[in-house]
Chain A
Amino acid sequence: MNNTLFKVYAFLVLFFVALVFQAKSHHDTKALIGKLTKRIDSGDSTAENYYNRAIEYRVLGQMEEAENDLKMALERNINFTVARRELTRILSKKGKHKLAIISAEKVIINAITQREKSSSMILLAEVLLNAGEPSEAIKYSSTAFKLNPKGKIEWYLLHARLLREIKRNDERPKILNRGYQTTGSIVLRNAWIDSLLECEQYEKALPIIEEELLESRLKSSWKLRRARAYIGTGNIDAAMNDLRTCLKELDQRIHPKNPAMTLIADRGLAHALLGNVDTAKNDLAHLIEIGADKWITAPLEKAIDSIGNQ
């Protein structure tokens, strides 16, 4: 074997070893962190290595370490947008709102295409909502829609939520219906029906609810919606009947020790509408205890309040 061939051979052997090493080590989160740490400590402290390690720290829920690594990544590459987006989300989640807003604004500055700009606007809107500034947030979600009129499912949900926060409930059906027509998402269709009920547009919602009740296997959420419509239209007996059958089905679906969050919300609302305030309050307290956000608790809170005001 001559010298050149030997070099080729050696290269290929090393190539194989590297492949095997990569294949063996990259699947275990802790092992990958260890591998990236070794690289960083040995001088290969690139923005990518810090970013990749941050992502693995996030997988393990080690947010402090993730935040530090993202900052290091950005120190090395100020235009590393993916890292900045990630850092923005972590800061916002940790309640460092001012820093999160500044970070999101930098993401907007770095955005080049329409798509990047619009999704950056949504990021800032999310951060502002978390910071308790829905009026400011809605300016950015509106801009995002102007830049990208088709939008995305999550954008419509966010925008509708912001409208609720700033007490412009009447505008919610329109944006949610537009979202449904644009994306076809059943989540937006159902949110639209809920918004119709909240805006007391019962006649519009009822035919769709009736159709869903005919076609669905599990009917509790649709019975709950129909009961709300019946109450709105003064058909109280029918509403009470729906609420009772709704609760019967929910008893089957809700695990006694580990209930699903959205099903507790449904049960609480059914109890509230039946006038079982204490049971409804228990469900609300349970929801808050397990970390349900306002999006889930708001209808139940409103129902409990309205009983209290009667």
Chain B
Amino acid sequence: MRIIYIIVIFCFPSISLGQEGDNIFSRSPYLQLATDSSIHIVWRTKIKINPIIRYGKDLGDLNKKIGSELILERRTVDESDESINDELSLFDAPKGTRQFEAKIPNLDPNSTYYYSVFDGEKRLTPKDSSYHFKTHPKPGTKSPLYFWVVGDSGTGGENQAKVHSAMRKYNQFKKLKLDMYIHVGDMAYNSGTDDEFSERFFKMYEPTLRNTVCWAAMGNHEGRTSKGENGIGPYYDAYICPKAAEAGGLPSGKEAYYSFDYGKVHFIVLDSHDLDRRPTGAMAQWLKADLEKTKAEWLVAYFHHPPYTKGSHDSDKEQQLIEMREHIMPILESGGVDIVFTGHSHIYERSMLINGAYATPTVSEGVILDDGDGNPNGDGPYMKSAGLVPHNGTVQVVAGHGGTNVSRKGTMPIMRSIFVENGSVLISISENVLTGTMLNLDGLIRDTFAIKKEGNITHSPIEDPWNPVTGQKPIKKKSISGGMKVPPVAKMIIGKNSQWAYFLDAESPPENWNTLAFNHSSWEKGESGFGFGDNDDRTVLGNMKNKYTTLYLRRSFALPEGVDHKKIGLVVSYDDAFIAYINGKEILRVGIESGNGKKARNISAHEAKNTFEYFPFDASAIKALEGGVNILAIEGHNYKKESSDFTIHPTLILKK
């Protein structure tokens, strides 16, 4: 019985234990719209109160007061209540809900204040130092900034709680205090209803929200009940966004997209879900104007739909994502954006330093300005010019891993760091360095990167950047026309007629098919050689002719101990051409001028004639070898579909 009761409590928290019985708040106090001289405190009750905020710089002496006459009260619409107009009504809050929005004006910049909510003389919040707020520094002044970035978190589940808790413990351990919290959308699954907001956002993050402003961007799930066009819905009830440039930037006239300043950092928030994303749309026009105006030294943009992702969503295929890349990114980069945070795709993906990657599908060639890892303790931070310089490089961060199920469809080629696990991102900006840290739900740091701005930095796009599939920079092998006479063999590492895994299809194999990590258990198995048409093949590929030109092979091997790597080589019988890889790295290209897989070009004809040729390992092939298990992967090509024969029979030898 106890178990059942626990399950009931867990399933229906709102009816359990009368947990709101002693608590007058149906939404505890939280902060909104901070500037260098003001802030908003918002809370909800289920009953009528005489709302008063007392505040001051000393917790023991809250010597200033905002009375009910200056506190906006919004309510659920009651048909019998004609006193309430559209702007004061709440969209779908439970009946009897009252939302209070208190603007605290005339504050000192960059200052901490404590506050308490009262009902007349009755204190409703405890005398607790966690009920405090800090105003922004004056725009344009230097001030360090530390903020939390979360996306796609609003499940109300265990992982969301763990991600939140990991951030709080990390900050406690490091003695760090958030200056703000950025949410890139999908904060209240499944439809962003008022109840979902209360349970899955406000209740979940309550200890953080009472002293940290959450600046939000709307996700598609909130978009099911809230509309950017008219600013109506539970999302717009929850947030007070600066549509009139109250916190810096230019007035957008809409809460759906806006900007704000924090010292020398300018933030831009866009609605990627339900507004016109075209360059002619009002949002893009506002963005261009806002970028032209700002004189900040750092530029941070965020919105829900990622321009680059292969997580649970694919930015090469989905309309909103494509439009954000093709229409909005050119405007942002022409304005000198430094970093873009998004969500929607349930994964953590962080890019190299990129510029001009607007094509569909996204490619990495010619758009990467720095293909290092950006880690100050690794390849070093990404370098940019001081100030805001157009097209000087952007880092993209997909932080859709804040609490919901994570998954991955593939590999976005501009990414440097990819983790399929829940977590969040912490960003600090101090002077000329921005540092990002991905903290997973267990509190482990999984990625660190930095951008440093100094002097005048000019980048040239890298033609062959680091490849996130292989984890290496591609080394272009020159195609050779043939091998050498087979030398005396000391040992066969992979012998003739060995068992291989093979893939033969009109479609390309998965993109990481040639790496050690790839699992080929679903591939067919067969003994070498492979082919048809010339009676020299152990595994005959009867359906290849007129259908396919390429066969993909994989086989693992381990090197004998103490082996001299310079004596290793491939011995292959082939018709017509092939490319060989060790652990995902191309080591040999025979008879194929350029490209791989379906993109292989200029393939030469070559007859096997039942003979083998020898290809000794060069330095790059030796470097690709691992100490334990290795993968030899080979793509064998026929020069045309209609060809009368095909053969690939690879072996790996140790010569005498």
Binds B, one of A7-15, A102-110, A238-246, A300-308: A7-15
Binds A, one of B249-257, B477-485, B647-655: B249-257
B388 and A153 within 8 A (CB): no
- CA of A259 to CA of B389, assembled, Å: 16
What mask results when residues 1 to 36 of chain A are scored 1 for a CB within 8 Å of chain B, else 0?
000010011001001100000111011110000000
The chain A residue sitting closest to B250, CB to CB, is: A186
Question: What band does the interface of chain B fall in when counting residues whose beta carbon is under 8 Å from A?
Answer: 35 or more
**Within 8 Å of chain A (Cβ to Cβ): is B207?**
no
Q: Give A266 to B226 CA distance when docked, in angstroms.
A: 35
Given the known A-B contacts A28-B313, A59-B319, are A185 and B254 also in contact in the complex, defined by CB atoms under 8 Å?
yes
Q: Is the CB of B253 within 8 A of A217?
A: no
Which of A29, A61, A217 has most B Cβ within 10 Å? A217
- The verdict on A167 contacting chain B, using a C-beta distance below 8 Å, is no
Contact A262 B288 (CB under 8 A): yes
Q: Which of B11, B189, B358, B359 contacts A23 (CB 8 A)?
A: B189
Most buried by A among B1, B251, B280, B388: B280
Q: What is the distance, in angstroms, from B557's C-beta to the closest C-beta of chain A?
A: 37
Are B358 and A258 touching (Cβ within 8 A)? yes
Known: A183-B253, A258-B356. Contact between A9 and B4, CB under 8 A? Answer: yes
**B513 → chain A, closest Cβ, in Å?**
22
User: Is A168 in the interface zone, CB < 8 Å from B?
Assistant: no
Measured CA separation A59–B295 after assembly (Å): 36
Report the bound CA distance from A188 to B157 in whole Å: 43
Please, which residues of chain B bring their CB within 8 A of the CB of A188? Answer: 253
Residues of B within 8 Å of A220, CB to CB, are 292
Contact between A216 and B280, CB atoms less than 8 A apart: no
Q: How far is the CA of A175 from the CA of B436 in the complex (A)?
A: 46
A29: which of B1, B86, B292, B318 is its contact (CB, 8 Å)? B318
For A59, what are the chain B residues with a Cβ–Cβ distance below 8 Å?
A: 318-320
Q: Considering the complex, give the chain B residue whose CB is closest to the CB of A5.
A: B4
Minimum CB–CB distance for A51 against chain B, Å: 11
**Nearest A-chain residue to B335, judged by Cβ:** A218
Least CB distance from A296 to B in Å reads 6
Contact with B along A182-196 (1 / 0, CB 8 A): 011111101000000
B358 touches A186 (CB 8 A): no
| A257–B295 CB distance below 8 A | no
Contact call A258/B282, Cβ cutoff below 8 A: no
| A253 at interface, CB cutoff 8 A | yes
Q: Closest residue of chain A to B223, judged by CB?
A: A55
Are A262 and B286 within 8 A (Cβ)?
Answer: no
Partner of B319, one of A16, A58, A184, A296: A58
| Interchain CB contact under 8 A, B282 and A153 | yes
Question: Is A187 touching B289 in the complex (CB atoms < 8 A)?
Answer: yes
For window 228-273 of chain A, which residues contact chain B by CB distance below 8 Å? 252-255, 257-263
Q: How far is the CA of A187 from the CA of B287 in the complex (A)?
A: 9
* CB under 8 Å from chain B, chain A span 166-214: 183-188, 190
User: A115–B335 Cα gap in the complex (Å)?
Assistant: 37
> Which of the residues A23, A221, A292 comes within 8 Å of B155, measured between beta carbons?
A23
A23 CA / B160 CA spacing, docked (Å) = 13
A41 within 8 Å of B (CB atoms) = no
Query: Which residues of B are found within 8 Å of A215, using beta-carbon distances?
Result: 293
Chain A residues with CB under 8 A of B253: 153, 183-188
B282 contacts A187, CB within 8 Å?
yes
User: In B300-350, which residues have CB < 8 Å from any A CB?
Assistant: 312-313, 317-320, 322, 327, 330-331, 333-335, 346
> Do A255 and B404 have beta carbons less than 8 Å apart?
no
- Nearest CB to that of A259 among chain B residues? B330
| Contact status of A28 and B407, CB under 8 A, knowing A153-B253, A185-B251, A262-B284 | yes
A306 smallest CB distance to B (angstroms): 23
Instruction: Give the distance in Å from the alpha carbon of A107 to the alpha carbon of B144 in the complex.
Output: 52
Chain A residues numbered 95-117 whose CB sits less than 8 Å from any CB in chain B: 115
B331 contacts A262, CB within 8 Å?
Answer: yes
What residues on A are CB-neighbors of B189 within 8 Å?
23
Instruction: Tell me if A280 counts as interface (CB < 8 A to partner B).
Output: no
The docked-state distance in angstroms from the alpha carbon of A60 to that of B317 is 6
Interface residues of B in 206-264 (CB under 8 A from A): 229-230, 243-245, 250-254
B404 neighbours in A (Cβ, 8 Å): 23, 27
Q: Specify which chain A residues have a CB less than 8 angstroms from the CB of B284 in the assembled complex.
A: 262
Query: What chain A residues lie within 8 Å of B319 (beta carbons)?
Result: 58-61
Q: Type the 1/0 row for B375-411, where 1 means its CB is closer than 8 Å to any CB of A.
A: 0000000000000111100000000000011010000
Bound form: Cα–Cα A213–B319 in Å: 37
| 34-51 of chain A: CB within 8 A of chain B | none
Select from chain A the residue with minimum beta-carbon distance to B333: A255
Flag whether A139 is at the interface (Cβ < 8 A): no
Which among A12, A29, A255, A296 has the greatest number of chain B C-beta atoms within 10 A? A255
B179 in the interface (beta carbon within 8 A):
no
User: How many residues of chain A get a CB closer than 8 Å to chain B's CBs?
Assistant: 53
CB pair A258–B330 under 8 Å, yes or no, is yes
- Measured in the bound complex, the distance between the Cα atoms of B320 and A295 in whole Å is 22
Query: What's the Cα separation between A266 and B100 when bound, in Å?
Result: 46
Q: Does A154 lie at the interface of the complex (its beta carbon under 8 Å from any beta carbon of B)?
A: yes
Expressed in whole angstroms, the minimum distance between the Cβ of A157 and any Cβ of chain B is: 6
**A23 to chain B: which residues have CB within 8 Å?**
155, 157, 189, 404-405
B157, B252, B253, B331 pick with most chain A CB within 10 angstroms: B253
Chain A stretch 266-310: residues in CB contact (< 8 A) with chain B:
292-293, 295-296
**Shortest Cβ distance from residue A16 to the other chain B in the assembled complex, whole angstroms:** 8
Q: Are A152 and B230 in contact (CB under 8 A)?
A: yes
B291 contacts the other chain (CB 8 A): yes
Report whether A27 and B346 are in contact in the complex, using a CB–CB cutoff of 8 Å: yes
Inter-chain CA distance A60–B244, complex, in Å, is: 34
A186: chain B residues within 8 A (beta carbon): 245, 250-253, 286, 289-290
Q: CA of A120 to CA of B327 in the docked complex: distance in angstroms?
A: 27
> CB distance A255 to B295 under 8 Å?
no
Docked complex Cα distance between A260 and B292 (Å)? 14
Asked whether A255 lies within 8 Å of B318 as measured between CB atoms, the reply is: no
Q: Which of A8, A15, A29, A185 has the most CB of B within 10 A?
A: A185
| Complex CA–CA separation, A188 to B252 (angstroms) | 9
For A13, give the chain B residue with the smallest CB separation: B7
Cα separation A22 to B285 with both chains bound (whole Å): 38
CA distance A152 to B255 in the complex (A): 12
Known: A26-B190, A190-B289. A184 touches B243 (CB 8 A): yes
Contact of B356 among A61, A115, A257 (CB under 8 A): A257
Answer whether A24 and B318 are a contact pair too, CB < 8 Å, given A8-B4, A292-B280. Answer: no
Specify the chain A residue showing the minimal Cβ separation from B253. Answer: A185
Given the interface contacts A23-B404, A28-B407, does A217 sit within 8 Å of B286 by beta carbon? no
Return chain B residues, CB-CB under 8 Å to A8: 4, 8
Minimum CB distance partner of A183 in chain B: B253
* Given A190-B285, A260-B330, A255-B355 contact (CB < 8 Å): yes
Using Cβ atoms and an 8 Å threshold, which residues of chain B touch A119?
230
Given A59-B318, A262-B279, A262-B288, A255 and B313 contact (CB-CB distance below 8 Å): no
Q: How far is the CA of A293 from the CA of B284 in the complex (A)?
A: 14
Contact of B229 among A152, A185, A190 (CB under 8 A): A152
CB of A254 within 8 A of CB of B334, answer yes
Instruction: Evaluate contact between B190 and A253: CB separation under 8 angstroms.
Output: no
| Given A186-B251, A255-B330, A255-B333; A260-B279 close (CB under 8 Å) | yes
Binding site for B on A (CB under 8 A): 5, 8-9, 12, 15-16, 22-24, 26-29, 58-61, 115, 119, 152-154, 157, 183-188, 190, 215-222, 252-255, 257-263, 292-293, 295-296
What 3 pairs between A and B have smallest CB-CB spacing? A185-B253, A260-B330, A183-B253
List 12 other contacts, CB 8 Å, given A28-B313, A187-B252, A221-B288. A8-B8, A15-B11, A153-B254, A185-B251, A186-B245, A186-B251, A187-B253, A215-B293, A217-B388, A220-B292, A221-B292, A255-B334
Q: Would you give 27 A-B contacts (Cβ < 8 Å), ordered by A? A: A5-B4, A12-B8, A23-B157, A23-B189, A23-B404, A24-B405, A27-B405, A29-B318, A59-B318, A61-B318, A61-B322, A185-B251, A185-B252, A186-B250, A186-B290, A187-B252, A188-B253, A190-B285, A215-B293, A217-B292, A221-B289, A252-B391, A254-B334, A255-B330, A257-B366, A293-B280, A295-B280
